[in-house]
Amino acid sequence: MQNRASDIYGMMAEFKTPEQLVAATHAAKHAGYSKMDAFSPFPIEEVIEEVAPGDTGIPRLVLIAGLVGASSGFILQYIGNIVDYPYNIGGRPLDITNWPSMIPITFELGILLAAFTAAISMVVLNGLPSPYHPVFNVPRFERASQDAFFLCIEATDPLFDRAQTSAFLRTLGPLQVSEIAH
């Protein structure tokens, strides 16, 4: 019972420097661990490449949102000033040949929707807001937003074993290793 991996969220090691965290992430990857996450007070490119390789999906969403925003902006103006309420201003054409004057608003609405999508999809895909998360139980985890660097091997990893994983993390020169309660 006590050794069941599912009782805990994972195993967390704390490191003193970003270089140590980079080395530890490489080592864990090399040892075959796949379900892990690192926590650092600033983004570290080398760690991100190991822990979260691949596509975020955000650029595609932003592109779609931008196109939707721009085309709805254009349609809005087309309906407003050409279909529904044509009004002669300085002899400007009342049909589609008037498209140049529609460009500014088309552009602005494209940017508006794309920018909101970039921010909102980052938050939502990250699973935020999440007021509670098991890693907050780790002692000294409040330093993860200041000057400490953490590596977590999650209990769902096929290679995860309480004793072995703990022993493995201790070989990487951490300041401390602790189990993460759910």
Token match 């991996």: residue? 5
Structure tokens at 14: 């704390």
User: Are 11 and 153 in contact, with CB atoms under 8 Å apart?
Assistant: yes
Burial of 149 (0-12, 13-18, 19+ CB in 10 A): buried
SS3 at position 110: helix
Token match 């949102």: residue? 65
- 24 near another protein, judged by CB under 8 A: no
Select from 3-11, 26-34, 103-111, 163-171 the region that touches another protein (CB under 8 A): 103-111
For residue 150, what are the β-bridge partners?
14, 39
CB of 89 or CB of 167, closer to another protein: 89
- 147 near another protein, judged by CB under 8 A: yes
- 107 near another protein, judged by CB under 8 A: yes
* Nearest approach, Cβ of residue 81 and another protein (Å): 5
- 99 near another protein, judged by CB under 8 A: no
CB of 126 or CB of 171, closer to another protein: 126
36-39 vs 176-181, strand pairing mode? unpaired
Instruction: State the Cα–Cα distance between residues 165 and 159, nearest whole angstrom.
Output: 8
- 3 near another protein, judged by CB under 8 A: no
Where do contacts with another protein occur on this chain (CB under 8 A)? Answer: 16-18, 37-44, 47-48, 51-52, 56, 58-59, 62, 66, 76-77, 80-81, 84-85, 87, 89, 92, 98, 101-102, 104-105, 107-109, 111-112, 114-116, 118-119, 121-123, 125-126, 128-133, 135-136, 141-148
